[in-house]
Amino acid sequence: MATMVNFHAHPDDEAIATSGTMMKASDEGHRVVLVVATRGEQGEAAPDALSPGETLGERRSAETLDAAGIIGAHRVEFLGYEDSGMAGEEANDNPACFWQADFDEAVERLARILVEESADVLTVYDDHGGYGHPDHIQVHRVGVYAARRAGVERVFHVTMNRTQILRQMAEVEAFAEAIEEIDAERAERFTEQDFGTDEAEITHAVDVSAYLERKRAAMLAHASQITADSFFGSMTDEQFADAFGTEWFVAPGPPRTGGFATDLFR
């Protein structure tokens, strides 16, 4: 069996973007490792999510461990950087944030884990971080170089299927309205195509439909960010399956000439 390391920027990113693939790999007997660059300190906590004296970073770290248990991850590590916030925010200038990290040091921190684990597969984000978040972009940059340093050859870029999302927005008015309601800024990026990857450039589509109940549970484990009555939490089963039933990846190299590959280990 092989070892897959999944590198993410903040708590809950793993549940949303790759938890189905992680569950599938774990259930098939592979070792699954989650590495998170920050503790998501710049997030916005749901009402009453924090206990007296508890910081958001502490809460989100605990939620990550809860989600990892649902996913079946065998190891969870935090790289030790602080959340950089969205692009253009004051938090971008925090010397302790991931965006401002000493690049070689960050690469070495991740490479050390990759070597310890004898990693066969590494997942990072695409080169624009999916939607331009500084920490997501930094995950890509650090991850690619760490893989080279550690000798990991199978590196996949986690992405969103831009073509599919735009198609859904065009065909289902309620889908577009729901996105606008939850995040007007993100809806604008969708319209401007400043997110994800065109379907023609995506190489791998992992069917995670068998894991959707657990995937939703992993997302809801991040209760400070995703509540039962939130957009993600309140989706019908059909809506959730449409949005999250497939997880998308790009393998660097020549474009695909046939259908999507479906396995990150072969």
Residue 137 and residue 92 in one domain: yes
Q: What is the pLDDT at residue 236?
A: 87
pLDDT tens digits for range 203-243: 999 999 999 999 999 999 999 999 998 878 888 898 899 88
**CATH number of the domain that residue 208 is part of:** 3.40.50.10320
Taking each helix axis from N to C end, the angle separating 162-171 and 184-191, rounded to the nearest 10 degrees, works out to 110
Contact between 228 and 175 under an 8 Å Cβ cutoff? The reply is: no
* H or E element, residue 4: strand 3-8
In 3D space, the residue among 186, 209, 84 whose CA is nearest the CA of residue 141 turns out to be 84
Mark whether 187 and 207 lie in a shared domain.
no
73-93 mean pLDDT: 97
Length of the chain: 266
Owner of token pair 């958001």: 56
The residue among 140, 171, 182 whose CA lies nearest residue 242 is 171
Q: Report yes or no on 265 lying in a domain.
A: no
For residues 57 and 174, membership in a common domain is answered with: no
Tokens 């969870």 sit on residue: 76
Same domain, 222 and 90: yes
Query: Could you read off the pLDDT of 107-135 as tens digits, one per residue?
Result: 999 999 999 999 999 999 999 999 899 99
Same domain, 54 and 41: yes
Q: Identify the CA nearest to 16 among candidates 154, 190, 134, 159.
A: 159
**Residue 144 covered by a domain:** yes
Residue (of 65, 79, 12) closest to 224 by Cα position: 12
222: in domain: yes
Which of the 8 DSSP states describes residue 46?
Answer: P
For the segment 10-69, what is each residue's pLDDT rounded down to a tens digit? 999 999 999 999 999 999 999 999 999 999 999 999 999 999 999 999 999 999 999 999
Q: Do 60 and 17 fall into the same domain?
A: yes
CA distance 89 to 13: 20
Instruction: Tell me which residue range forms the domain holding 221.
Output: 3-160+199-250
pLDDT value, residue 193: 54
- The sheet carrying 121-125 orders its strands as 75-81, 31-38, 3-8, 121-125, 154-159, 246-250, 204-207
26 & 144 share domain: yes
**CA–CA distances in Å: residue 51 to residues 42, 56, 67, 69, 266:** 17, 10, 19, 22, 45
Residues 78 and 128 in one domain: yes
What domain count does the chain have?
Answer: 2
Two structure tokens written together for 251: 């393998």
Does residue 63 contact residue 224 with C-beta atoms inside 8 Å?
Answer: yes
Q: Are residues 67 and 178 in the same domain?
A: no
Judge whether 119 lies within some domain.
yes
Same domain, residue pair 143 and 169: no
Tens-place pLDDT, residues 144-183: 999 999 999 999 999 999 998 888 766 656 555 655 554 5
Residue 83: inside a domain: yes
Residue 263 included in any domain: no
pTM of the model: 0.93
Residue 264 lies in a domain: no
Split at pLDDT 50, 70, 90, the class of 189 is: low
Residue 261 lies in a domain: no
41 to each of 56, 91, 98, 230, 243, how far by Cα in Å? 6, 10, 12, 20, 27
Q: Is there a single domain that holds both residue 144 and residue 238? A: yes
- Residue 218 shares a structural domain with residue 245: yes
- Distance CA(137)–CA(73), nearest Å, equals 24
